[in-house]
């Protein structure tokens, strides 16, 4: 059981920073920030979960069944992540590529301390065993001093594969497409560095550059995620399931007229729309596995949305969930998300594993939460920096969708565009 207390916050933007600074002292923390981005579906402006009462972390083997049991037993708020390599729990697949981070494939925890911010209304939800700490903690949070965030010492960032290797591998993927093995696949590459970073400062800088709707900071002891994700993977809202895949990207321009023209060109681009529509079809198929008959629908197809760094095409696919399905089954039957795999999904994942050189791990997985009544909301882990403090290993990956119309050189340039924010923060 939880005790709920409401507070009025004079300056929510300042308070969010204070919450993050305060939370960083705990062994486990998840901080989610919508950055006030306008959304059709959303519950909170900001969420902080900290200090685990119970937790689960495991490799891929039987991971979804373990999570299902954990969620059903606790019936409480749970926060954490699903790594891309849980694909090996849903299909007969493997992950044999290099892994410099070594994060668990799945990690969730039941927080003792939970903060839910909507506008200037803060709801504090503490487990009864620690509810006598609410006032002291709130005072401590509001006394956190926001010091100037200095740039981190520059890191020597390396690419796991060279430009020439990238072009060759995309060429091989195009051969698979021309043979009819796949229609589309998301091909990714890793950038990495050795050295120490300040995870909180890194997240603040990355978030400030992009101000996306699904930003996330995750701490699991000495392992960190700093994510500036613009993409929702999956949301459950009572009996409604919402997926919002992103496919289709264009750069921004400082000139307003040119920027509007770029957005319009993206909206009309046959190649970019084809990328998006193929993934929409895949998502419709995924959702149909757990939906009531005839309930899968496309609410929006290829809507053009603007972010600080780029324009994106985003579609919204919805369904009504079959009540016989557990909430974890809904996730399992659509995981990994279509926007980070390809079509057909299994063939695409097999080819991805063969051509990529790095185990994706948490990159292109999902971060989010379950509510006590069985709703959930998860992002897609892209535009993110991963860091293991013990190994002093820093990693970020970027990718793009390869279709029959793709130019390897153009796809490489798109990857560099997506890498810009992470490079700016680290180097």
- Beta-carbon contacts of 187 under 8 Å, excluding residues fewer than 6 positions away, are 169, 170, 173, 352, 355, 356, 399, 400, 402, 411
Is 231 one of the catalytic residues?
yes
pLDDT digits (tens, 9 = 90+) for 260-307: 999 999 999 999 999 999 999 999 999 999 999 999 999 999 999 999
Res. 148: pLDDT tops 80 = no
Answer whether 0.85 is exceeded by the pTM: yes
pLDDT band for position 248 (cuts 50, 70, 90): very high
| Residue 218 φ then ψ, to 5° | -125, 130
61, with CB counted inside 10 A (0-12, 13-18, 19+), is: exposed
Catalytic member of 112, 113, 219, 247: 247
Tokens of 378: 């998860």
pLDDT digits (tens, 9 = 90+) for 58-95: 999 999 999 999 999 999 999 999 999 999 999 999 99
Res. 382: pLDDT tops 60 = yes
Nearest Cα neighbor of 211 from 294, 305, 127, 301 is: 305
Mean local confidence (pLDDT), 109-121: 98
**CATH H superfamily, domain 2-145+154-426:** Anthranilate synthase (3.60.120.10)
* Beta-strand pair 2-8/297-306: unpaired
Measured distance CA(313)–CA(153) in Å, rounded: 35
Contact between 412 and 167 under an 8 Å Cβ cutoff? The reply is yes
Mean local confidence (pLDDT), 313-337: 97
Share of the chain above pLDDT 90, in %: 96
Catalytic member of 28, 184, 190, 231: 231
Is 247 one of the catalytic residues?
yes
In Å, how far from its chain's centre is CA 36?
A: 17
pLDDT score of 8: 98
Measured distance CA(166)–CA(100) in Å, rounded: 20
């Amino acid at each position: 059981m939880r005790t709920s207390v409401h507070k009025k916050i004079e300056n929510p933007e300042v308070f969010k920073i204070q919450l993050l600074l305060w939370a960083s002292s705990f062994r486990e923390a998840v901080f989610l920030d919508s950055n006030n981005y306008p959304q059709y579906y959303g519950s909170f402006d900001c969420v902080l979960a900290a200090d685990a009462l119970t937790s689960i972390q495991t490799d891929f083997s039987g991971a979804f069944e373990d999570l299902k049991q954990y969620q059903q037993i606790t019936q409480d708020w749970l926060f954490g992540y699903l790594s891309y390599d849980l694909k090996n729990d849903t299909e007969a697949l493997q992950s044999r590529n290099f892994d410099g981070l070594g994060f668990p494939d799945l990690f969730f925890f039941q927080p003792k301390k939970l903060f839910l911010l909507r506008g200037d209304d803060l709801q504090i939800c503490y487990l009864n065993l620690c509810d006598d700490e609410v006032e002291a903690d709130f005072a401590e949070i509001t006394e956190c001093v926001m010091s100037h965030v200095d740039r981190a010492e520059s890191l020597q960032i390396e690419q796991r594969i060279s430009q020439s290797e990238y072009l060759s591998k995309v060429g091989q993927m195009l051969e698979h497409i021309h043979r009819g093995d796949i229609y589309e696949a998301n091909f990714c590459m890793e950038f990495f560095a050795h050295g120490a970073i300040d995870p909180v400062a890194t997240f603040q800088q990355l978030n400030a550059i992009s101000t996306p709707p699904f930003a996330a900071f995750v701490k699991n002891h000495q392992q960190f995620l700093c994510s500036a994700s613009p993409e929702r993977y999956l949301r459950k809202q009572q009996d409604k399931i919402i997926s919002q895949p992103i496919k289709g990207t264009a750069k921004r321009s400082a000139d307003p007229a040119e920027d509007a023209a770029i957005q319009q060109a993206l909206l009309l681009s046959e190649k970019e729309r084809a990328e998006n529509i193929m993934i929409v079809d895949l998502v419709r198929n995924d959702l149909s596995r757990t939906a009531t008959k005839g309930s899968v629908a496309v609410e929006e197809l290829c809507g053009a949305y603007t972010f600080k760094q780029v324009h994106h095409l985003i579609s919204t696919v919805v369904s009504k969930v079959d009540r016989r399905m557990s909430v974890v089954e809904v996730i399992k039957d659509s995981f990994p998300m279509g926007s980070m795999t390809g079509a057909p999904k299994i063939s695409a994942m097999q080819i991805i594993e063969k051509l990529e050189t790095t185990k994706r791990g948490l990159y292109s997985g999902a971060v989010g939460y379950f509510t006590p009544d069985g709703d959930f909301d998860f992002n897609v882990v892209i535009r993110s920096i991963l860091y293991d403090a013990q190994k002093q290993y820093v990693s970020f990956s970027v990718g793009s969708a390869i279709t029959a119309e793709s130019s390897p050189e153009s796809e490489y340039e798109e990857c560099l565009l997506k890498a810009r924010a992470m490079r700016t923060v680290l180097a």
